[in-house]
Amino acid sequence: MGKGFLDGYKTYDTSKGYGSPKQWQEAFEERMNPEDAEMVLINQTQSPHEILGVKANATAGEIKKAFRKLIMEWHPDRNENRIDEAKEMSQKIIAAYSLLTDK
């Protein structure tokens, strides 16, 4: 059985700090590769651009900014009273970002 969506948070060792940006990128890519992202979005009526709220011709910077804003808003730690909805939205946001930045 593959890793669950939030398993990375449980296994990422932060005892000596939060790690380097490279470590975070590797952990992110390990949790959501393009194939996983496509499976998350397979039944969605919205495109990855619509999920992130950016235009189809958005720059990499605009996509990253939209991703960061939405993931902070929908992070499960910030939505404890609606955690299932937050997990689902976080998965969609990460999947959309993964597909738009995997070029």
Amino acid at 42: I
Please report whether residue 27 resides in a domain: no
Q: What is the CATH number of the domain that holds 76?
A: 1.10.287.110
As a whole number of Å, the end-to-end CA separation of the chain is 28
Q: Please tell me the predicted confidence (pLDDT) of residue 46.
A: 92
Please report whether residue 23 resides in a domain: no
Range of the domain at 38: 32-101
- Identify the residue whose tokens are 């619509």: 50
Please report whether residue 97 resides in a domain: yes
pTM metric for this prediction: 0.69
Q: Residue 101 contacts by C-beta under 8 Å, 6 or more apart in sequence?
A: 60, 63, 64
Q: Please tell me the predicted confidence (pLDDT) of residue 31.
A: 67
Q: Please tell me the predicted confidence (pLDDT) of residue 76.
A: 82
Check the CA dihedral 76-87-82-93 and report its sign. Answer: positive
Q: Which is nearest to 94 in space by CA: 38, 26, 55, 10? A: 38
pLDDT in tens, the chain (103 residues): 455 555 555 455 556 665 666 776 676 666 677 888 888 888 889 999 999 999 999 999 999 999 999 999 998 888 889 989 988 998 899 899 989 987 5
Domain tally, the chain? 1
Please report whether residue 63 resides in a domain: yes
Please report whether residue 14 resides in a domain: no
